[in-house]
């Protein structure tokens, strides 16, 4: 299982990537799976074992980003 962070625009994905990397998180960017969303072509994938979701939410909302988090097998 992975967490998938879905944003409105590519710009937000890039901004989120920069913020999360700066906060020490590990992530990668993938094409958003069609069954999850068609909002933006890209999304951020994070592994649950090294991701504190509450911290992720805090970092992103503090910087004015809106997003959805999905769990993908």
Partner 1 sequence: MKVYLDNAATSWPKPPGVVEAITKYLNEYGGSPGRSGHDFAIQAAREVFETREILAGLYHVPDSENVIISANATHALNFAIKGLLEKGDHVIISHMEHNSVLRPLTYLHDEGLVRFDIARCDEKGYVDLEHMRSLILPETKMIICIHGSNVAGTIQPIAKIGALCKENGILFLVDAAQTSGFVPIDMQKENIDILAFTGHKKLYGPPGIGGLCMQKNISIKTLIHGGTGSKSDMAHHPEFYPDRLEAGTINTVGVTGLKAGIQYIQHKGIDSIRQNLSELTAHFMRELAKMEEVTIYGPEVHEERLPLISVNVKNKVPSDLAAKLDKEYGIMVRPGIHCSPLAHKSIGSFPQGTLRFSLGCFTTPEEVEYAIQSLKKIIDHENR
**Binding region for partner 1 (CB under 8 A):** 8-15, 17-18, 29-32, 38-42, 64
Tokens of 43: 């999304």
Least separation in angstroms between residue 72's CB and partner 1 is 14
Element holding 14 (H helix, E strand): helix 10-22
Query: Which residue number, 38 or 54, has a Cβ lying nearer to partner 1?
Result: 38
Least separation in angstroms between residue 3's CB and partner 1 is 16
Query: Which residue number, 50 or 63, has a Cβ lying nearer to partner 1?
Result: 63
Cβ within 8 Å of residue 62, ≥6 positions away: none
Separation of alpha carbons 8 and 64, rounded Å: 12
């Amino acid at each position: 299982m992975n967490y998938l962070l879905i944003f409105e625009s590519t710009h937000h994905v890039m901004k989120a990537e920069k913020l999360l990397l700066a906060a020490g998180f590990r992530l990668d960017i993938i094409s958003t799976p069609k069954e999850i969303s068609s909002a933006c072509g890209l999304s951020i994938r994070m592994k649950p074992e090294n991701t504190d979701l509450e911290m992720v939410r805090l970092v992103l909302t503090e910087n004015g980003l809106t997003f959805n988090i999905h769990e993908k097998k």
